[in-house]
Homo-oligomer: A and B are copies of this chain.
Amino acid sequence: MAITIGVFDSGFGGLTVLRELLPLIPGAHYVYLGDTARLPYGSKSQITIARYAAESARFLANRGADHLVIACNTASALAMDEIRSSVAIPVTGVIEPVVSAAQQRHPNSDVLVLATPATVQSHAYRAHCAGHGLRASEKACPLLVPLVEEGWVDHSITKQVLRIYLREALSECTPQAVLLGCTHYPLIAPAIQATLRELGSHAEVIDSARATAAAIARAIGASHPPAAGPATFRCYATDSVEKFAHLGSQFLAQPIPHVDLLDLGG
């Protein structure tokens, strides 16, 4: 029987992880849950985030998931212990894979992490990087999520905002790698790489969605035989299924024909 992989995010940003996963594991079935009714997690307390994430994890485990992907930076930063103790299946977060990829490509180096204000405030990337011998500077980029959600991924305004954020960050560090610490940012990865070059930086952009998908494919490949046929997916959202289908299609880079509405409570 084909493997079922649960993918969780507070919204639809985690669909960039699903997009990378779909071609990697033939025959897999994905169940994606976006807890859109309760986003953004970033402004909530740790105890609330842990409760929401554990509820979502249990839902995906009950839907038959054999492996769980926490494609949400806030939950990966603040709730991995609670998620792991709430389900009996392996759980992969989004922070460890990208930090591990950076360490392999640029060992013992300075790295720059771009993320939302909440993720920066948690300093989860800094801690993971230190554990891998990397020195991390963290830069909060509050406008990037709204710009991506406005659909301005290849827009002059977005390029100007990137120039402002990256110039500020590069005035305080000289990174060899730039880690995308938010699942919205892969959509503007080319613009981030181009802006770094323009500002004289040779840093390599490392995409957390791609690094996470690769880590999961390795873990699954070691434990499950490959199945035949294309991968399939089903999406659940806790509110605004139309918005999810519309905006989510851009993150997944393919149409989402149907989204199921799910009530996880208050």
Give the B-binding residues of A (Cβ under 8 A). Answer: 36-37, 39, 43-45, 48, 142-143, 145-147, 149-150, 156-157, 160-161, 164, 239-240, 243, 265-266
The distance in angstroms between the C-alpha atoms of A145 and B40, with both chains bound, is 15
Give Cα A36–Cα B161 distance, bound, in whole angstroms: 26
B residues less than 8 Å from A150 (CB atoms): 142-143
Whether the pair B48, A43 counts as a contact (CB closer than 8 A) is: no
Leading 7 A-B pairs by shortest Cβ distance:
A266-B266, A146-B146, A143-B146, A142-B150, A43-B240, A143-B150, A157-B160
**Residues of chain B contacted by A43 (CB below 8 angstroms):** 36-37, 39, 239-240, 243
Cβ-closest chain B residue relative to A118: B240
Residues of A contacting B: mostly:
helix
Q: How far is the CA of A149 from the CA of B146 in the complex (A)?
A: 12
Kindly list chain B residues whose C-beta atoms are within 8 Å of the C-beta of A240: 43
Bound complex: CA A156 to CA B156 (Å): 13
Nearest B residue to A147, CB-CB: B143
Q: How far is the CB of A122 from chain B (nearest CB, A)?
A: 13
| Given A146-B143, A265-B266: A44 and B48 interface contact (C-beta under 8 Å) | no
Return 21 A-B CB contacts under 8 Å, by A number. A36-B43, A37-B43, A37-B45, A37-B48, A39-B43, A43-B239, A43-B240, A43-B243, A44-B239, A142-B146, A142-B149, A142-B150, A143-B143, A143-B147, A143-B150, A145-B146, A146-B146, A157-B160, A160-B160, A265-B266, A266-B266
Measured CB to CB, the closest approach of chain B to A22, in angstroms, equals 27
A142 — which chain B residues lie within 8 A by C-beta?
Answer: 146, 149-150
